[in-house]
Structure 1
């Protein structure tokens, strides 16, 4: 089981002070958060991709390369790589390059994003969102798995005898998670290829998450990749902690009430009842995370959103201390004790290289 955090790179005014960080401060804060994530023993940090204010996450590969140079163990992922509006040739080359720089500590989550205007900015039509996700990923896989690609599709210019460089590290492409909140087509796509499915249900009830994950698991088995409970599942969540639950609620409430996405809507209490948002003590976070297994089954990756809604860097780093010292060690033990032996661990570059070598050896023997 991998535990980590994700960021979307929002630049948001702190409602308790009225101060808005500069873009430079927010970018530097992201780096400090990544270093802290490794320091406290987290496995993963995932970085978003946005191309509009108030976000400063337009180039995740640049940030990830910088973080890779400053860390040793942290696995670097994306909380969205925009497969719909980013050229798949660009994705193939950028992430293979990053894979080499980070010695394999890279995977990525593909998504369509939640910002409609991004489509025309990059010459696309939002009405083609699902088509773009499917066609672009089919091309991306070929670019990573075939040395020379000749291809023609509907949404980009054809390729004739094209080789994407550099080639993936050790001949093994970065692992791909397909991220979706509400689109069954994306769960189907993940299942078809035997890839991971990441359901970031931070704005949706557990019943919806359960439905989406069940669909993915059922189709994963249908396509012959293993039994349904062996499908590779990741989940998103949000937490805010203090030693005392009442202190956590009191401190987080102004941030929740004024958050750009969910502020000025349901109350904090209503939102925490209906979604994975947990505001309370470390023990409450442990209990609620463990309860997730009851409706999605055994899963491989849990990421939390920690640095949003204008929370100051000092507070975020304190949250990571609590996560690393009091929450994740307990969750590691509990999830490990509950996981059946036939359910796989989260894929890593080294495990996938070993699997590829074993498969090649079997072919030789056969």
Structure 2
């Protein structure tokens, strides 16, 4: 189980002081979080991608990832979202391959469509085409990381002719990709098609919704022949705030919750905790709540928490990270790993992906010859050929009848 934190980089006024950090302070605080995550032995630090206030999560996450890579040695660097819809796939291919080299392979990505509608026209895109953009752009990105001299023609960008992105992925092995989604089933379908991971936001929806999304991805992962459903690669988000006792945690977090742009002025804190995975309480409560995720998501590979949102000052964020790294994560890692069956894989790393490539076990997009997907395609092909043969036979018979049916016998 990979355990870590992610940031969305919002610059939000602290409701208890009335002060908002400067953009410079927020950016430097994000780097401090990443260093702290490594010091605490966390597995992953992830950043979002935004292009609009109040967010300063980088418009180009690889810039932040490169800075963090230079100041760390072990922690995996990821994106909470890479905007596959509005970012040029060529740019993604080259930027993240470059960071992959700088970080010695400690890089993966979570592809997503984002949740800010105005971003689409800013980059010349139509939000109504969000799903088709995600599908086409990732199809191109997948090829750019695996092929040279790519020829490509699609609906949403100028054609490519004989294009090779540079640098090539480290060891000729692309970064692992998770596909992130809150509610769109087309995204877990895409993840399953390619044999990639699926990351569910797991913040704003109830567990029943998350269960349906994860179960759908697992079923489709097996359908495409990448492994059994319980071997599918799943990640979950979550959000927490802790104090030594639950009363203090609720008292301290309430003003941030009530005034946060993302969920303030809606349901009460208590209602939100009941209806979603938000956990505000003691470290033990966070442990128990997080372990319960396995009941509806199955054995999964990555758990990331949002801890720096809603105007929380850096000192409180670092305190939350101390709770996670020193008290929560050691227990979660032990319990999750002990419960995971031997046939369920660990989270992918660059080393494991290199070994998979060497063994010739890379996933086949759409499913290899032994998959149910391939059998269904073959059956559809046979049915189409049978229909075509019947149509030809019917047409020939009709032509034959037309050629003889209207002719009069001249001797009659």
Secondary structure of residue in 1 paired with 2:198: strand
User: Are 1:69 and 2:70 matched, yes or no?
Assistant: yes
Asked whether the 8 Å contact 2:5–2:307 carries over to 1, the reply is yes
Paired position in structure 1 for 2:28: 28
> Secondary structure at 1:177's aligned position in 2?
strand
SS in 1 for 2:205: coil
> What is the match of residue 311 of structure 1?
312
Tell me the distance in 2 between the aligned counterparts of 1:2 and 1:284: 20
* TM-score of the superposed pair, with normalisation by structure 1: 0.98
Partner of 1:254: 255
Secondary structure, aligned partner of 1:46: strand
Secondary structure in structure 2 of the residue aligned to 1:37: helix
Per the alignment, residue 50 of structure 2 pairs with 50
| Alpha-carbon offset, residue 147 of structure 1 | 1.4
Compute the displacement of 1:243 (Å).
1.0
Asked whether the 8 Å contact 2:151–2:161 carries over to 1, the reply is: yes
What pairs up with 1:141-290 in 2 under 5 angstroms? 141-290=142-291
Supply the distance in 2 between the matched residues of 1:152 and 1:63 (Cα, whole angstroms): 32
Gaps of 5+ in 1: 361-366
- How far, CA to CA, are the matches of 2:236 and 2:260 in structure 1? 22
The residue number in structure 1 matching 2:335 is 334
TM-score normalised to the size of structure 2?
0.87
Classify the secondary structure of the residue corresponding to 2:145: helix
Give the match's secondary structure for 2:239.
Answer: strand
Deviation at 1:356, TM superposition (A): 1.1
Query: How many Å separate the matches in 1 of 2:42 and 2:78?
Result: 13
Rounded to whole Å, the distance in 2 between the matches of 1:82 and 1:320 is 27
SS at match of 2:124: coil
C-alpha contact 2:81 2:109 (8 A) present in aligned 1: yes
Q: Which residue of 2 aligns with 1:121?
A: 122
Task: Give the whole-Å Cα distance in 1 for the aligned partners of 2:209 and 2:194.
Answer: 23
SS in 1 for 2:110: strand
**SS in structure 2 opposite 1:145?**
coil
For residues 151-182 of structure 1, the C-alpha deviation after alignment (integer angstroms, 9 at most, x for no partner) is 10010000000000000000100000000000
- Map Cα deviations across residues 106-146 of structure 1 (whole Å, 9 max, x no partner): 00000000000000000000000000000000000000000
Alignment partners' CA distance in 1, 2:41 and 2:277: 23
Per the alignment, in what secondary structure is the counterpart of residue 360 of structure 2?
helix
Runs (5+) with no aligned partner, structure 2 = 362-412
Q: Distance in 1 between matches of 2:225 and 2:360?
A: 16
Match of 1:17 in 2: 17
* Residue 364 of structure 1: aligned partner: none
1:111 aligned onto 2:112:
yes
Count residues in correspondence. Answer: 360
Give 1:59 shift: 1.8
Which one has the largest radius of gyration? Answer: 2
C-alpha distance in 2 between matches for 1:201 and 1:283: 20
What's the offset of the Cα at 1:236?
Answer: 0.4
Taking the aligned partners of 2:261 and 2:186, their CA distance within structure 1 comes to 28
Question: 1:259: Cα distance to partner?
Answer: 0.5
Instruction: Find the aligned partners of 2:75 and 2:297 in 1 and give their Cα distance.
Output: 26
Between the aligned partners of 1:10 and 1:355, the Cα distance in structure 2 is 38
1:295 deviates by 0.6
Deviation at 1:358, TM superposition (A): 2.1
Q: Distance in 2 between matches of 1:281 and 1:3?
A: 18
